Amino acid sequence: MNDKELRAHKATHDKSNSWWMNDGRGIPLSRVCDECIHEVKKGYSPEVLGESGRYEDVVEDTIEPEDGSLLEDWDYDCP
């Protein structure tokens, strides 16, 4: 399945015929079904999916704390 076919296929997904595929930390990545899950997984490293290795080895972004402690780092004057 090429990218165009996969996008067209995923456009047919809804809550009755698909589910969210999550990364190794439980963050939703993409809606998938039995027909396309293997194709979608090809776009992610096994570490991100939690299938091997360490998530931190391939993902550099950190998740902001829910207490908002990083909000002071934002520049609110930017357009």
Question: Is 36 a member of any domain?
Answer: yes
Question: Is 75 a member of any domain?
Answer: no
Q: What is the pTM of this model?
A: 0.62
Cα–Cα distance measured from residue 42 to residue 39, given in angstroms and rounded to the nearest whole number: 5
Residue range 19-37: mean pLDDT, rounded: 92
Q: How many CB atoms lie within 10 A of CB 36?
A: 20
Residue range 39-64: mean pLDDT, rounded: 76
| Domain boundaries, position 36 | 1-52
- Domains held by the chain: number: 1
Please say if the pLDDT value at position 40 is more than 90: yes
The pLDDT-based confidence of 29 (bands split at 50, 70, 90) is very high
